[in-house]
């Protein structure tokens, strides 16, 4: 019989979400130029927006991993995912235009990847919300 409380354990979907945030957040900081084209033009200082969103993803990931911060990080993660969804749609639109213009396997593959990612946002938001409600980990 384990004496470990259920709130100190982390389940696979939550660990996966944290890993995605860590990877994406790191990529935002290491290669911000990848994300700059999808920042809405109304926002000033595109590079800073990309860097701040990368830091936010890393902070959310770390928060999801710790039982004491998991609830707040869950709600913050859901909000972050909802907030960046329009940028992900824009990335798909741009990739589709590039794929249509270039007609290469690489550009078509990237476009397919951006499209496939869009419906994954909803299960990621559900995992984040359940962590926020204290139902995960």
Orientation angle between helical segments 70-102 and 121-132, nearest 10 degrees: 170
Overall average pLDDT of the 17-21 stretch? 97
Separation between Cα atoms, residue 103 and residue 34, nearest integer Å: 20
Model pLDDT for residues 74-101, shown as the tens digit of each residue: 999 999 999 989 888 988 999 999 999 9
Q: Look at residue 25 and tell me whether its pLDDT is greater than 90.
A: yes
> Could you tell me which of 63, 121, 65 has the C-alpha nearest to residue 92?
121
Tell me the pTM. 0.83
Orientation angle between helical segments 70-102 and 12-30, nearest 10 degrees: 60
* DSSP summary character for residue 67: T
- Write the Ramachandran bin of 103: left for phi over 0, alpha for psi from -120 to 50, otherwise beta: left
Q: What is the dihedral of CA 75, 130, 66, 118, to 10 degrees?
A: -70
Overall average pLDDT of the 18-47 stretch? 93
Residue 124: how many CB atoms within 10 A of its CB?
19
Q: How would residue 37 be classed by pLDDT, with cut points 50, 70 and 90?
A: confident
Q: Residues 25, 61: contact at Cβ < 8 Å?
A: yes
Query: What was the pLDDT predicted at 42?
Result: 86
Q: How would residue 2 be classed by pLDDT, with cut points 50, 70 and 90?
A: very low
Cβ-based neighbours of 53, under 8 Å, separated by 6 or more: 25, 28, 35, 80, 84
Environment class of residue 130 by beta-carbon count within 10 Å: exposed (0-12), middle (13-18) or buried (19+)? middle
Q: What percent of the chain has pLDDT over 90?
A: 71
């Amino acid at each position: 019989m384990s004496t470990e409380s259920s709130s100190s354990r982390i389940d696979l979907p939550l660990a996966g979400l944290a890993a995605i945030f860590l990877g994406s957040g790191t990529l935002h900081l290491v290669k911000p130029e990848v994300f700059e084209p999808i920042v809405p033009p109304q926002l000033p200082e595109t590079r800073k927006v990309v860097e701040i969103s990368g830091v936010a993803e890393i902070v959310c990931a770390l928060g999801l991993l710790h039982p004491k911060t998991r609830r707040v990080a869950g709600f913050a993660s859901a909000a972050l995912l909802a907030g960046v969804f329009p940028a992900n749609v824009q990335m798909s639109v741009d990739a589709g235009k590039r794929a249509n213009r270039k007609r290469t396997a690489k550009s078509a593959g990237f476009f397919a990847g951006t499209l496939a990612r869009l419906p994954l946002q909803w299960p990621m938001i559900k995992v984040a919300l359940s962590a926020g409600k204290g139902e995960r980990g």
